[in-house]
Structure 1
């Protein structure tokens, strides 16, 4: 058996280190982000995901000596040669040591271009035998947008790329910083943008499409680094807004016209450029099937507006290059849609549960709680990779009352203007189908009129929602709960959101789940085959 370990690691990375272990057939044995283990959201500044590497080896039941190749999702030597200090690549032995590999017999170390690793992670996870691939992020070694042609059994072919001055990722980050939402606040910015009437927002001219292609307000220079590009976008956003920042605090940004204008403008820019790029990559490759990777692939609203066959993996952001680097050496030979459940198991419940006790899991009891308007936390099976909770590390609730959105946002200590998405195991006819985007809750879909009426807790202000549809056999427990709810006259839909508190990653273990429920408050906790009734809701309905 040959083992290949892919990593998002190295001196050049800024966030989301991760590790992924595959065999020679490309079968994913384990894939987990460092943040789930060190409990630091995005793990910014962590250059070597040593905890994630160790967990992958433990999950597969092998030792470090069994790993044949370590594949890195960055061309570290090329970055080092171009940048010099502080991105100086010391030696393979030094990086391998940081990842937990020691001794005289070390695995081979190979480096793969960042965007190539992104493209591989999207295409080989998809159901397609051939696809056009679009990579859009902050930046790779040199580029921020790339176009690839992919065919199963053949090397990826890069057809075009654009330098950092065209970076949608850096522009969106600058807007999020201006809004006071932080460097990693893109998801909040996307949610805020829906409060703006985009038809009335003036075109800021940041990035646009002209008769000869993409135009950047920053020009065409290839010499700007990340910091210079970000600062230049910051100045452009301040000029557009006419202010140094919002007038309202974060909790009230939806009531700040200037903040909404900036969010809507940057979101419209992303949607315009991504839509044009999607057309370009399909035209250049002659292939209708489209895969998207890179951090901008997390923009559900932009994804949901794209026509045709589309696949975005559950981990399109930088953590995904751990998977792509591994698959650059051992790609799956057949098209099998990727399962996101690649992390660790919850482990046993803590022995000290205080005044509450665990009982055997009862689907009907859980359905009763949800039908009564209670909030149930779920920590079952292997954790899902990526930022979207897919029912293995989720808070679940009934979406049939508008109040539930307020209660859930209060429980999670979130801004009240932020939206939620639904999960189902059928086609309820309550939103427009979103195809493969529904697999991982990674695309917006427009609610039907009946859907907006029936599911007010997951209806965003612009009439969209971000759905997840469970495939047969994918998640038997939640599917059984949905069936039980239908028997009670409830629609086959639940509100599904991430099982975590503010500023922290999704819970990984049973102990973390118990601590999070105690800290935030929820009515019940499901851990594998146990049900814990807490009665600790942090707010009182009504």
Structure 2
């Protein structure tokens, strides 16, 4: 039987991406922003990412059998299902007319496709569920998807058994945890796409229950929202928009602030942190209360303590940590590209399932993007007129630089997908030096109060982490064991929490070597890892990107392939 070649595309209005699945296996995936250098690539089509995926898989555009997208056209959806009933949207729609997918048509035109492939529309939350469950390695699992919205659905409870995913329950707009948290972030003045800042800020505040009842009532059940009179107040399922939900939460949060000005507090001892940490802490507590409530309900319905998380809310590491500690949870898999950028993967996997293709297996690495040979790297360094030395042991070389208190831009192998740098496009520093947290945030031109992530070896996880769990994707909050914390001062957030990454020698030999050698020199088991970019740009992809960021920032060193540059 010939291979089935499926191109997954996220064609939404932010974070477009592309993914290629061949014979059921994920071959390549990249976000459009990494290639266009426009953060979040708002409004762009995933053309360059699709071109990369085709080239990486050795395919021409006319080799495609199917293009899968994680959206069902809204107009068609409303015509078929008056009133916006969300339960019928958890579906796979094969053979969608191309004219119903104008953004897909535009991508295919840009790719100069002559033989039009089958077009499949996968409902948004089914794509999220597929991306989470089908690469979790679980035979059976509970699945929770939570985001702002997609195809008018904001929360999905589902069950995976074998190759099948079945629906347990769904909540539609206006019941949206994603919009609640985005409105909280906007209220705090942190800007768009800055929910991660809100999570970090929360640790500085005194958590209260101010918002818990409101969020539980509005975002965890259909009955609660009806009792609150939301539909009568502002929501008409045939005419209202997501912006109406956002405005509701902005007003609601403002009302809580007006009733208790203590939510807008000053934290003068933290440079750059002026106000709002109590409000952030209250919002974070409410989000975690809602997520754990949903998980409790879901596990009771499915009987499965293995849990998969997806959707943009699943990027909240602190909430994921609270879920991981629940007594009902036996094991947890969080899709590392849980947001919409990862849904090109979910759409492609669901299409592959419909074609009867083999399971993709357990996700062990996110390094599915572009890679560059040492010859290409040398050429780029020469063109940039950068002086360099060569090394046959990049990991040990980087470890020595880190131990000397230097910051290192680190580019090795294929670029990773998802918002977390996982040792392929990273900035590294020593966690043994307490000042390195401020130094690294200054390099990235970020607020100094923002936390950084420690990377440790897989084999140290059981002894070092309270959870004793491997954490390859840096997406579940944890803590170091008490006796180890003093050796990693720069890795600890203000509340003692961490967002660890555990690193496999087999999968990332050079990165593992850097951690191991740094530990030998400093007696600190972790190195600091953050994404290789400054505050205003996406993570670097190419040698040219890396050189530009190295020059523009106050980075001390660049270890790129087998080459080392120093300022």
TM-score norm. by structure 2 comes to: 0.86
Unmatched 5+ residue regions in structure 1? Answer: 536-542
Mapped to 2, the partners of 1:252 and 1:369 lie a distance apart of 28
- Kindly report which structure 2 residues correspond to 1:127-142, keeping only aligned pairs within 5 A, or say none: 127-142=137-152
Matched residues in 2 for 1:103 and 1:7: separation? 15
Looking at secondary structure, tell me which structure has more helix per residue: 2
Whether 2:69 is the aligned partner of 1:72: answer yes
Q: Is 2:179 the counterpart of 1:170?
A: yes
Distance 1:455 1:111 in 2: 47
> Which SS does the other structure have where 1:165 is aligned?
coil
1:174-323 map, 5 Å = 174-198=183-207, 200=208, 202-203=210-211, 205-208=213-216, 213=221, 215-216=224-225, 219=230, 221=235, 223=237, 224-242=240-258, 254-256=273-275, 259-306=276-323, 307=326, 308=329, 309-323=331-345
2:442 aligned partner: 410
Report the CA distance shift for 1:118/1:387 in structure 2 as closer, same or farther (over 3 A).
same
Q: Can you list the C-alpha shifts for 1:45-69, whole angstroms capped at 9, x where unaligned?
A: 22x2111101100111111001110
Give secondary structure in 2 for the equivalent of 1:275.
helix
> For the residues of structure 1 that align with 2:562 and 2:125, how far apart are their CA atoms?
41
The aligned counterpart of 1:18 is 17
How far apart in 2 are the matches of 1:447 and 1:166? 36
* CA–CA separation in structure 1 for the residues paired with 2:157 and 2:113: 40
Shift of 1:400: 1.0
Q: Is residue 117–residue 324 contact of structure 1 (8 Å, CA) maintained in 2? A: yes
Aligned residues between the structures: 519
Q: CA deviation at 1:213?
A: 4.8
Tell me the equivalent position of 2:85: none
1:276–1:201: structure 2 CA closer, same or farther, 3 Å change rule?
closer
2:129 paired with 1:119: yes
Task: Give the 3 Å change call, closer, same or farther, for CA 7–517 of structure 1 in structure 2.
Answer: same
**Contact 2:411–2:546 (CA<8 Å) still a contact in 1?**
yes
- Aligned partners of 1:74, 1:282: CA distance in 2, in Å? 27
Deviation for aligned residue 1:78: 4.8
1:147-202 C-alpha deviation (Å, 9 max, x unpaired): 11112223x1111001122211001111111111112010000000111121x453
Kindly indicate whether the alpha-carbon contact (under 8 Å) linking 1:209 and 1:273 is maintained by their aligned counterparts in 2. no
Structure 1 residue 488: deviation in Å? 2.0
1:487 and 2:534 are equivalent in the alignment: no
Looking at structure 2, the residues matched to 371 and 23 of structure 1 have their Cα atoms a distance apart, in angstroms, of 43
CA contact (8 A) 2:147 2:311 kept: yes
Residue 347 of structure 2 is aligned with which of 325, 345, 351?
A: 325
Which residue number in structure 1 is paired with residue 546 of structure 2? 513
1:339 corresponds to which of 365, 369, 375 = 365
2:387 pairs with 346, 353, 356, which one? 356
Q: 1:463 aligns with which of 486, 496, 508?
A: 496
1:376 Cα deviation after fit: 1.0
Deviation at 1:452, TM superposition (A): 2.6
Instruction: Give the match for residue 38 of structure 1.
Output: 36
Q: Distance in 2 between matches of 1:8 and 1:94?
A: 10
Aligned residue runs from structure 1 range 395-406, under 5 A = 395-406=427-438
CA RMSD in angstroms comes to 2.6
Once residues 396 and 370 of structure 2 are traced to their aligned partners in structure 1, the CA distance between those partners, rounded to angstroms, is: 27
Are the structure 2 counterparts of residues 14 and 366 from structure 1 closer, same or farther at C-alpha, using a change threshold of 3 Å? same
SS in 2 for 1:31: strand
Residue 462 of structure 2 is aligned to residue 440 of structure 1: no
**Alignment counterpart, residue 54 of structure 2, candidates 39, 54, 57:** 57
Note closer, same or farther for the CA distance 1:67–1:93 as it changes in structure 2 (3 Å cut).
Answer: farther
CA contact (8 A) 2:265 2:277 kept: no
CA displacement, residues 274-311 of structure 1 (integer Å, 9 cap, x when unaligned)? 11111111111111110000000000000001132110
Contact 1:121 1:327 in 2 (8 A): yes
Cα gap change, 1:94/1:138 in structure 2, threshold over 3 Å: closer, same or farther? closer
Counterpart Cα distance in 2 of 1:527 and 1:510:
8
**Structure 1 residue aligned with 2:9:** 7
* Range moving further from structure 2, 32-41 or 483-492: 483-492
Q: CA deviation at 1:493?
A: 1.2
CA offsets per residue over residues 310-338 of structure 1, 9 Å max, x none? 10011010111111111112144364234
Contact 2:20 2:28 in 1 (8 A): yes
Aligned to 1:449, the other structure's residue is in SS state coil
Contact preservation (8 Å) 1:393, 1:507: yes
- Higher deviation after alignment, 330-339 or 140-149: 330-339
Check conservation: 1:33, 1:385, Cα contact below 8 A. yes
Residue ranges of structure 2 left out of the alignment (5+ in a row): 83-96
Mapped partners of 1:218, 1:18: distance in 2? 38
Q: Residue 197 of structure 1: SS of its match in structure 2?
A: coil
Shift of 1:523: 1.9
In structure 2, relative to structure 1, the CA distance for the partners of 1:447 and 1:197 (3 Å cut) is: farther
Q: Is the 8 A contact 2:403 2:522 kept in 1?
A: no
Give, in whole Å, the separation in 2 of the partners of 1:39 and 1:174. 27
In 2, Cα distance between equivalents of 1:41 and 1:248: 31
Distance, in Å, in 1 between the alignment partners of 2:509 and 2:99 is 48
CA distance in 1: counterparts of 2:257 and 2:485, whole angstroms: 33
- Give the match for residue 539 of structure 1: none
Structure 1 pair 101–41 and aligned structure 2 pair: CA distance change class (3 A) = same
Give the SS at the match of 1:170. helix
Q: Which residue pairs with 2:89 in the alignment?
A: none
Give the distance between the partners of 2:76 and 2:43, measured in 1 at CA: 17
